[in-house]
Structure 1
């Protein structure tokens, strides 16, 4: 399988494609790729029986696609955890290194790595790590862009994207931060949020679609605003 196809399987998984359908627009925003290119690749994945997709409907992983995505995600996020926790890599720098390492990881090495790390449940950017049997904890698929003005939420995880992680490091927005949405600027403008300490952030339209949130107590949310 080509690296680009693997990237699609991983991003569909991250967006919730193991549990529900995800939209062409969500994939386009997460990968920074034109919607037409997403449509073309999804058609290829459908022919290989890795995803399901009907015209004018959204996309989900098949059992075969999910199994492959889980293995890719498991390898990638275990290496990210090792790089961040044991080699002190900065969060924005771990993704490209893990991309290389995941392709040369044997089942034996993967099992040893998991044990060495203490069987972590989440990677440094908050994403779930499937266990050796492919099981993983439920996580939120509601993004910050879907939260209405006035609501307070907790930042749960970020999409595993190098540019996004650099952007979030620059503005110093961290996991587990509670923020209140102040305003959605019109015409795909930024979203203004504030922390309990009064720190304000203007988060770009694209970034807000790649930041997943829970309620104030860490429970999953139902989307209340169309992304």
Structure 2
């Protein structure tokens, strides 16, 4: 039975080959021995179109590949920054220093911040010196944290950082800080409109009007225009 099937398959293959050869022969006979100028023009145009399509496909493939690589690099860069921030002793210390004078969920005014920034010991005692130092450090910590989020906002605006990833991980923390410092930012921007301009724009985009903080008070309020 198997030999019969094999012979049948061979016969079919030979028949297909004969038909294919005849078809190719007919197609070949259609080509003129001496092509006309019209045919040459058509062949040239066809070859040009094929070349253009090949280049276009290659270019599109390169663009898509480059875009995918850039997206992957942007996410990896963003993750690296987030990990460094969470593991940074310096970042943790900044939050501790800030809370010593400007606890979370309390408004930071320009006057209070500036007073802390310029604080001097009331006397020569060690206690007075340490208190003045804590106030200085708290003021510095506030602007350092704001500067950090301004840096992230610039990275997002320039397309160097992944906004979706940052929003999912830092939105609440950043918006709480800006809400606490909105009056301070307003006064700083009166003096220089470009101060925290990227952070202010990002905050306006990310904030959720009507939000409440952990104490049930209004949160994520707009930065005053001044």
TM-score strictly above 0.5 = no
Q: TM-score, normalised by structure 1?
A: 0.27
Greater share of strand: 1
